[in-house]
């Protein structure tokens, strides 16, 4: 896709990202709200990557939002979340382009391994992650506790 651009999201993109996730992402998280992604972008402005078709380079007039990935780096580990591609745009290299941009970011920051949060039931996602060179680690389980402030 010649007119595909990958760029970091800014504050003006957040409502569109939330609406996009409702259509294109699998599952939800406690932090999938305006306050959650505002904190993400404020703390790490380059972490939420958007794939757009068309629009102006450099984030001027935006194009059509067709994909997202969160590429978070805490200084130690590289975490990938919310890889989502619009259902009508899948299997065209958008997810691969987003992951390549995320991995490039991680390498520039000194990261050595990327890990991804992928729902067990998301078979389509499993295929995409495997095609990108990722594999599950069955010896690990995710443990969570919602924090109440």
pLDDT at 131: 92
Beta strands in the chain (DSSP E): 4-8, 48-53, 64-73, 78-85, 114-116
User: What's the pTM?
Assistant: 0.90
User: What letter would DSSP give residue 93?
Assistant: S
Closest to 118 measured CA to CA, from 93, 91, 138: 138
Mean pLDDT, 10 residues at a time, the chain of 149 residues? 90 95 83 89 96 73 89 93 94 94 96 90 89 90 79
φ, ψ for residue 76, nearest 5 deg: -130, -50
pLDDT at 72: 95
- Domain ranges, ordered by start, for the chain: 4-131
* Residues 13-30: b if buried by 16+ CB within 10 A, e if exposed: bbeebeebbeebbeeeee
pLDDT at 104: 97
**For 40, what's the count of Cα atoms within 13 Å in the CB-facing half-sphere?**
26
CATH 3.40.630.30 fits 4-131, yes or no: yes
């Amino acid at each position: 896709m010649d007119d595909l651009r990958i760029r970091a999201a800014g504050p003006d993109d957040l409502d569109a990202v939330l609406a996009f996730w409702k259509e294109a992402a699998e599952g939800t998280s406690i932090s999938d709200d305006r306050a959650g992604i505002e904190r993400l972008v404020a703390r790490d402005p380059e972490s939420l990557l958007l794939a757009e078709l068309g629009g102006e380079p450099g984030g001027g007039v935006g194009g059509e939002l067709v994909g997202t990935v969160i590429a978070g780096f805490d200084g130690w580990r590289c975490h990938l979340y919310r890889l989502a591609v619009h259902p009508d745009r899948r299997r065209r290299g958008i997810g691969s382009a987003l992951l390549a941009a995320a991995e490039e970011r991680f390498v520039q920051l000194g990261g050595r391994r990327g890990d991804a949060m992928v729902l067990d039931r998301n078979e389509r996602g499993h295929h995409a992650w495997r095609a990108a060179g990722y594999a599950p680690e069955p010896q690990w389980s995710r443990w969570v506790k919602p924090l109440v402030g």
